[in-house]
Amino acid sequence: MANLEIFRINENGAGWVDFSEATSDEKLNIELGLITNQVKMLCFVCHIEIPRGNVCANHKTARGAVYLD
């Protein structure tokens, strides 16, 4: 099972935080972004924008890849 993390930047610095530690505002911002299509999905290998899944067509054989054609 995978962990869901968010990237937080605040007065204490920046870094990845487990989703269970996200504030209500952070969760609301993510939800609103998903509803209004303001969240962009990026390939986790090359970071180009993709429509869905977690990898682009070039990296569909990468370990942990979820390629949705």
The pLDDT tens digits of the residues spanning 8-65 come to: 988 999 988 999 999 999 999 888 887 887 777 888 889 888 888 888 889 888 887 7
Domain count, the chain: 2
Backbone angles phi, psi at 14, to 5 degrees: -140, 145
Closest C-alpha to 20, from 37, 1, 6, 2 = 6
Does residue 55 sit in helix, strand or coil? coil
Strands 5-10 and 13-18: antiparallel
pTM: 0.52
Q: Are residues 56 and 33 in the same domain?
A: no
Supply the range of the domain harboring residue 13.
1-38
Q: Are residues 34 and 3 in the same domain?
A: yes
